[in-house]
Amino acid sequence: MPVHSLTHPLAAHILTHLRDQTTKPATFRTLAYQLSLLLAIESTRDIETDKKRIQTPLEPMEARVLARQPLVVVPILRAGLGMVQPFTDIFPDVSVGYVGLERDHETARPRNYYCKLPPLAGRHVFVVDPMLATGGSAVQALTVVKQHGATDVRLVCIVSAPEGVAEVEKYHPGTAIHTAALDRELNARKYILPGLGDFGDRLYGT
């Protein structure tokens, strides 16, 4: 399975402060934005461009612009919302869909409570969720977007566990995963170690 880890020193720096338990929600949101921006750039490295003839102040030239092939970003509610704005800030024609999943605190199994998606066929679809732990939420979200017509889907995460990567590979083989970090393991309560705790709670101060 193609797992792409961010190797930029700035990504490591931002992630360290996200992991730090003393980081407050306002700073946490800013850091989540910054890291998601780096991930948005990295995960779209291969999208298409078209030729465009322009005139610089000095001479004409043939340059490149993004092809008119709208991207779709699909956050898994609620924590995935913290990764959407970088995509909408830098890609002019991006659409946003939503899949609402919540892990049961006892069983760690995801419960689907919301789904609102734009047309997905023929588009690059980016499912964004900061934490890939058991992989249950990601697998379910990938299944939902494929049921709605998506054929080109990437998963973009901030911290991933090996167990989650294996689960995605089992149910959606070949799916590209872009992550800022591949951590060691899950603990008995299915939290990522070393991880950063509950991302949604830290993002929203709950």
- Told to check if 203 binds ligand URA by CB under 6 A, we report no
Indicate which single residue of 39, 40, 76, 128 sits in contact with ligand PRP (rule: CB under 6 A): 76
- Told to check if 131 binds ligand PRP by CB under 6 A, we report yes
Binding track over 92-131 against ligand URA, x by CB under 6 A: ---------------------------------------x
Q: Which residues, including other chains, have CB under 8 Å from residue 11's CB and lie 6 or more apart?
A: 35, 38, 180
Minimum separation from the CB atom of position 45 to ligand PRP (A): 24
Indicate which single residue of 33, 98, 191, 204 sits in contact with ligand URA (rule: CB under 6 A): 191
Could you give the count of Cα atoms lying within 13 Å of 17 in the half-sphere of its Cβ?
Answer: 18
Choosing from 44, 78, 103, 129, the catalytic residue is: 103
Q: How many residues bind ligand URA (CB under 6 A)?
A: 8
| Whether the Cβ atoms of residue 150 and residue 115 lie closer than 8 Å to each other | no
Nearest to 148 by CA among 197, 77, 98: 98
Cis preceding linkage at 92, omega within 30 = no
- For residue 94, the partner it binds in ligand PRP, ligand URA, none, with Cβ less than 5 to 8 A by kind, is none
Q: 72 vs 99, which CB is nearer to ligand URA?
A: 99
Nearest to 45 by CA among 144, 193, 187, 176: 176
| Whether the Cβ atoms of residue 43 and residue 169 lie closer than 8 Å to each other | no
C-alpha span between 195 and 161 (Å, rounded): 9
129 part of the active site? no
- Told to check if 137 binds ligand PRP by CB under 6 A, we report yes
C-alpha span between 39 and 44 (Å, rounded): 8
Minimum separation from the CB atom of position 71 to ligand URA (A): 25
Site for ligand PRP in 97-116 (CB under 6 A): 101-103, 108, 110
- Which spans of this chain sit near ligand PRP (rule: CB under 6 A)? 76, 78-79, 101-103, 108, 110, 129-138, 164, 190, 198-200
